[in-house]
Chain A
Amino acid sequence: MGAYALPDAGGHFGIYGGSFVAETLMEPLAELRVAYKQYLRDPEFLKVLDEDLRQYVGRPSPLYFAARLTETWGGARIYLKREDLNHTGAHKINNTVGQALLAQRLGKTRIIAETGAGQHGVATATVAARLGLECVVYMGAEDIKRQAINVYRMRLLGADVIAVESGSSTLKDALNEAMRDWVTNVDDTFYIIGTVAGPDPYPAMVRDLQAVIGREAREQILTQEGRLPDALVACVGGGSNAIGLFYPFLEDEAVALHGVEAAGEGLDTGHHAAPLCAGKPGVLHGNRTYLMEDQDGQIIHTHSISAGLDYPGVGPEHAWLRDSGRATYVAVTDDEALAAFHELTRVEGILPALESSHALAYTSKLARDLGRDGVIIVNLSGRGDKDVHTIAEREGIEI
């Protein structure tokens, strides 16, 4: 592989990506593209962003050697990139801090966002509160029921949380509704997309803002192990934490990249959220990528125990990395993710998010395959406090 320079000028990663939106949004996207390219190279802007990441988010996040987990699994040395220790408890804020600064530079006074589990919604409401911007978060009515605490957090932060009742009333419908809001209020509104999907420039912009994860991890592992890891593992819903970790390692060909999708009740049951493992290419939410769709091209319902992975599409760069063979994608069931959740909690005293638990579950297999000489970095993309109700309910425990 030569120097990695994707996406192209039109936002394409091979055949994936692009800008598939109604005409009204084409000019605003062009404006955003120019601003993103200008500011993410502007030393003044980057200085402010860097300061915010250190003082407000709490970066750099540790690269923690999980000695007991390594011992328990009996294989490769396992390092956890502790994105769960960021302000608001997940990697999502790396992106919202950057996009909110862009919104401010563009003179936008109103922020909108979509959210599934509520982590991106909370991270957006947080930065909006800090910058004194109006904030509206769209959330599927089903997800609002599942994630009452995050809804309340967003409201405490001053955000207006709007229940989306259309379609399946989940994340994909919240994204549709946020797009509709943006089309309507395009003059004063900035849409902060939470993952590496959507029309160009979002996949590249969100990647560049999340790449701080991989830049830190690369430096940290060289210091702590004196060498690059054999493998990186991250969960993939839309895929922002995975791209954030993978991107700075793309040209290190000896480093294997593993993305872990949600197999839900099993890939053969149809109740899953694993478009890269079991979907087909198509166009949704502004980009061409792998999708969960039926034979007529309608988007189908997805299932995962983890609301953050419960999405029928995936970032277009992952689609490209899959086809090119640079990264491999696997899927882990609800049950396997839960088992990994308990394992990390008990042996390391860390409650991982259910999303991140998918990455851990696959790591348990990979660690054995690589053996004791191997080194693996797992992105612990978020903390699991938000999931304790889901887990208790599933295990028949009343809190």
Chain B
Amino acid sequence: MSRIDKRFAELRAQQRAALVPFITAGDPAPEVTVPLMHAMVAAGADIIELGVPFSDPMAEGPAIQRACERALEHHVSLHDVLAMVQRFRADDDSTPVVVMGYLNPVEVMGYETFAAAAAAAGVDGALTVDLPPEEADAYIRALRESHVDTIFLLAPTTSDARIERICGASSGFVYYVSLRGVTGAAHLDLTEVADKLAQIRSHTDAPVGVGFGIHTAAVAAQVAQLADAVIVGSAIVKRIEALAGEPERIPAEVGAFIRELREAITSTTKMTNAINE
């Protein structure tokens, strides 16, 4: 059983949604990332989503764009990100790590090389933002062969036919982009999220994560009632940005925010489970 499947099985038993923090690898400096990953796990993160910096992150709002720019000042490459996961794995063999980024660095590395290197480093899943399943046959083949999960995005605009196709291409979990907009936008509509999740669940039994626009513990708790995983990115990245000048404080400060999110999520029973069971 993969780390991701195992983690979701544990969470199902606890009737709790996963807390999935996102950080950009190498932000604000490469040496911060691995200690920060451990600090997030200690504070209650269930899965870590690690952003691969890219020069042209089209789906990101300003906070994660700037995180990419800070990381790229240190020339953090996809190779470097995989090396960070490998170092993280030396002390943590159970927390799933998903790398999230854009296709071009993966294209340059080559799908097979990427898949093998990711698996060897201990990466559990990959989410490539600008790669829809329509263009992903060779990529999916390569990652499947290396037992790395392929996570694809679903959006408010996704039709029934494409939900079916995307769920078919996905493994591990599917990621629902909860709003029309970029990461860190501010207009999450919980009713729309609930409706869309019901529609998605009519196509798949896979866990459904929800991200984009979850800024506070209160919203995280509300989303946790609907989703199997709550993904928080920009709100964390903004805290990192505020401490970019004193990076030694980042693990503790981000850890405190993760704890707050985790408490809020833990205090809510998942509505779906309550209904299902």
Contact = CB atoms under 8 A, between A and B. Distances in A.
Decide whether A and B are members of one complex. yes
A180 B162 contact: no
Contacts of A19: 132, 134-135
Contacts of A288: 107
- Which residue among B57, B106, B107, B166 has the maximum number of chain A CB atoms within 10 Å of its CB? B107
A38 interface: no
A103 interface: no
Interface in B141-186: 152-159, 162, 166, 177, 180-182, 185
Interface residues of B, number: 46
A23 B166 contact: yes
Contacts of B132: 19-21, 23, 26
A166 B102 CA distance: 17
A35 interface: no
A72 interface: no
Interface stretch (A136-144, A259-267, A289-297, A338-346): A289-297
Contacts of A282: 104, 107-108
Nearest to A172: B56
24 contacts: A20-B103, A22-B58, A22-B177, A23-B132, A23-B166, A24-B155, A24-B180, A26-B157, A28-B157, A166-B65, A166-B69, A167-B65, A173-B56, A180-B59, A180-B181, A180-B182, A184-B182, A186-B157, A283-B107, A293-B104, A296-B79, A296-B108, A297-B78, A298-B104
A183 interface: yes
Interface in A259-292: 280-286, 288, 291
Interface of A: 10, 18-28, 166-167, 172-173, 176, 179-180, 183-187, 280-286, 288, 291, 293, 295-300
B154 A297 contact: no
B129 interface: yes
A26 B162 contact: yes
A12 to B, nearest CB: 9
- Which residue among A28, A172, A297 has the maximum number of chain B CB atoms within 10 Å of its CB? A297
B58 A298 contact: no
Contact of A297 (B66, B106, B129): B106
B131 to A, nearest CB: 6
B158 A23 contact: yes
B13 to A, nearest CB: 31
A20 B185 CA distance: 22
B30 interface: no
B195 to A, nearest CB: 16
A23 B182 CA distance: 11
B77 interface: yes
B272 interface: no
Contacts of B65: 166-167
B134 A10 contact: yes
Given A23-B157, A167-B69, A282-B104, 18 more contacts: A10-B134, A18-B134, A22-B59, A23-B155, A23-B177, A24-B177, A25-B157, A167-B65, A183-B59, A184-B180, A184-B185, A280-B108, A283-B130, A288-B107, A293-B108, A296-B79, A297-B54, A298-B105
Contacts of A299: 55-56, 104
B131 A20 contact: yes
B180 A186 contact: yes
B218 interface: no
A295 B108 contact: yes
A18 B105 contact: no
B72 interface: yes
Contacts of A10: 134-135
A166 B177 CA distance: 23
A25 B109 CA distance: 26
Given A183-B182, A284-B56, A297 B108 contact: yes
Contacts of B247: none
Given A184-B181, A298-B55, A283 B103 contact: yes
A166 B58 CA distance: 11
A296 B135 contact: no
A166 B185 contact: no
